[in-house]
Amino acid sequence: MNLTRRQALALGAGAAVLTVTGLPAGALASDDKVQAAIDAFTGGTAPEAGTISLSAPEIAENGNTVPVGISVESPMSEEDHVTDVILLAAGNPSPGVATFHFSPMSGSADATTRMRLAKTQDVIAIAKTSTGKVYMDKKTVKVTIGGCGG
């Protein structure tokens, strides 16, 4: 990649502004945004613990690609099945990361993905069932810079 003189000056000016002013307002999701996303997904129903299992590394050496897995114990029958699972990252600028939709034909409510984390933060998974129950699991993922472990 070749930078022109003009591009290099613009990049340097932008870096100087960020250094002086810090991160722009709203660069990280606020607790209000996270709670609003949870409330919108659950419809105000208080999530219960259990039934859903979130797997994420305790320490992520690279925040650009953090593997995450979600598994929900469910009979996946026509009467009782998982309908939706939402994945949230509390410290990202926009907390919503992914939404997975399931039906009885899915056979099981399991999903894996990779996500980008801006910093050490909580990752939250919430599942809704066809019976109206809501389940939640949360893990804290420590993001290290350059794999230094600190």
pTM for the whole structure: 0.77
CB under 8 Å to 20, separation ≥6 — which residues?
none
Cα 103 to Cα 37, 73, 74, 93, 140: the distances in Å are 22, 14, 11, 31, 29
**What is the torsion angle, in degrees rounded to the nearest 10, for the CA atoms of residue 22, residue 26, residue 30 and residue 101?**
-130
Question: In the chain, what are the domain boundaries?
Answer: 26-143
pLDDT digit string (tens) for the chain, length 150 residues? 576 777 666 666 665 555 544 444 444 457 889 999 999 999 989 999 999 999 999 999 889 999 999 999 999 999 999 999 999 999 988 999 999 999 999 999 999 999 999 899 999 999 999 999 999 999 999 998 755 555
All residues at 6 or more sequence positions from 143 whose CB lies less than 8 Å from its CB, including other chains: 60, 63, 66, 117, 118, 119, 120, 121
Q: Which CATH architecture has domain 26-143?
A: Sandwich (2.60)
